[in-house]
């Protein structure tokens, strides 16, 4: 067993052009004031991180970490979710996802994909220079529009999509091996890797690549009606990162998993601030602790009702209350009578 590290906060949902959310020094001071000891950094946000420089300069990375440390904050991981999304984009989403990329590649899917691949590789190099062991990312999606199709899917369509997805990611995973950094795919609706079965389809096609890991977030499993505790047993060896995010699913006679095109606040399934949803975090933290997960518990705030700053402050204490400091002794040591091989043989009746 190992003690989970934290609490940490994913900064993506808080970044803005307003103080204190618009520069590295201010946001790390704010995070520490909220009760956090670590932050997960969106690698695409130049207000915090110069990704190109971080990928090539250890001095820059040392300064970046040092400035955070002065505020009592550790850099836990980088995130390349937006860039990873663009490694594989179905044409139906070309316009919507152009906004994630540099303006120079807008309207050019091939150039956008090449840009995205380079960005993820830069994020891996930057992670190495920062002394980090994991990078969060989305897988992107080619098959997602056909997840619940009508008319039925043509034979071989999904297999072809996953073959292509693996072809695009394999060189990036090999680069991850060179950098010594795991790519932790957030298992997430909207991505081709959205549950355990789809993750396994991908693993099979990248030859069970050692650097292909999971970012575990139980909120996405609640909204799929998936057993998020059993998932930990199934993929204990593959879970490399942990987002602490809550959710609830309250189906009605009018809507269920798909949400009926309603806004988040009116959906049957919706994300909530920590403690306001249905995730059994006592069970999650207990399972991760006994599994030996020693990564960070990173709050990802998403809620259609509560103010983000309230959610952040409450989330820090919530995680602190759930982290289990691993015991250094058995609870019944007081009753230990001592033993040796001879005594054990006698207790088993083997000396007769």
Q: Which residues have C-beta within 8 Å of that of residue 287, sequence separation ≥ 6?
A: 229, 232, 233
pLDDT band at 342 (very low <50, low <70, confident <90, very high): confident
**pLDDT exceeds cutoff 80 at 35:** yes
pLDDT band at 113 (very low <50, low <70, confident <90, very high): very high
Least confident of 251-255, 278-282, 285-289, 326-330: 326-330
The pLDDT tens digits for 146-175 are 999 999 999 999 999 999 999 999 999 999
pLDDT of residue 253: 97
Average pLDDT over residues 97-104: 97
The pLDDT tens digits for 44-79 are 999 999 999 999 999 999 999 999 999 999 999 999
CA distances from 47 to 16, 44, 96, 278 (A): 9, 9, 23, 34
pLDDT of residue 227: 98
Q: Are 44 and 72 in contact (CB under 8 A)?
A: no
**pLDDT exceeds cutoff 70 at 334:** no
pLDDT of residue 332: 67
What is the average pLDDT score of the chain? 96
pTM, entire model: 0.95
Q: Please, what's the largest Cα pairwise distance for the chain?
A: 85
Strands 5-10 and 296-299, bridge-based pairing: parallel
The pLDDT tens digits for 212-231 are 999 999 999 999 999 999 99
CA contacts within 13 A on the Cβ side of 262: 16
The arrangement of secondary structure in 5-347, i.e. its CATH architecture, is Alpha-Beta Barrel (3.20)
Average pLDDT over residues 181-203: 98
| Secondary structure string (H, E, C) spanning 89-126 | ECHHHHHHHHCCCCHHHCCCHHHHHHHHHHHHHHHHHH
pLDDT of residue 339: 74
> How many angstroms separate the CA atoms of 9 and 183, rounded?
19
> Regarding predicted confidence, which is higher, 271 or 327?
271
pLDDT band at 331 (very low <50, low <70, confident <90, very high): low
* φ, ψ for residue 281, nearest 5 deg: -70, -25
**DSSP at 62:** H
End-to-end CA distance of the chain: 39
């Amino acid at each position: 067993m190992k003690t989970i590290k934290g609490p940490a906060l994913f900064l993506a949902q808080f970044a803005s052009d307003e103080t204190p959310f618009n520069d590295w020094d201010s946001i790390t001071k704010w995070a520490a004031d909220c009760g956090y000891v670590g932050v997960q950094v969106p690698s695409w946000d130049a207000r915090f991180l110069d990704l190109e420089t971080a990928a090539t300069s250890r001095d820059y990375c040392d300064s970046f970490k040092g400035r955070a440390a002065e505020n009592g904050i550790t850099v836990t991981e980088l995130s390349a979710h937006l860039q990873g999304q663009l490694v594989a984009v179905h044409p139906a989403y070309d316009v919507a996802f152009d906004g994630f990329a540099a303006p120079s590649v807008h309207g050019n899917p091939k150039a956008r994909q090449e840009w995205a691949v380079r960005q993820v590789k830069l994020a891996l190099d930057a992670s190495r220079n920062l002394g980090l062991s994991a990078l969060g990312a989305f897988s992107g999606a080619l098959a997602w529009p056909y997840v619940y199709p009508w008319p039925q899917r043509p034979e071989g369509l999904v297999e072809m999509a996953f073959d292509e997805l693996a072809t695009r990611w394999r060189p990036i995973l090999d680069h991850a091996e060179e950098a010594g950094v795991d790519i932790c795919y957030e298992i997430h609706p909207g991505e081709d890797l959205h549950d355990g079965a789809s993750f396994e389809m991908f693993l099979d096609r990248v030859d069970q690549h050692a650097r292909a890991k999971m970012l575990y977030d139980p909120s996405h499993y609640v909204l799929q009606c998936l057993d998020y505790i059993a998932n930990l047993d199934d993929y204990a060896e593959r879970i490399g990162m942990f987002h602490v995010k809550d959710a609830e699913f309250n189906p009605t006679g009018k809507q269920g998993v798909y949400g009926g095109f309603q806004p988040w606040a009116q959906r049957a399934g919706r994300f909530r601030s920590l403690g306001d949803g249905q995730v059994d975090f006592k069970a999650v933290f207990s399972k991760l602790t006994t599994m030996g997960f020693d990564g960070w518990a990173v709050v990802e705030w998403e809620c259609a009702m509560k103010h983000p700053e309230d959610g952040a402050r409450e989330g820090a204490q919530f995680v602190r209350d759930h982290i289990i400091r691993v015991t250094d002794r058995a609870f019944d040591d007081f009753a230990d009578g001592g033993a040796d091989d001879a005594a054990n043989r006698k207790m088993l009746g083997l000396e007769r």
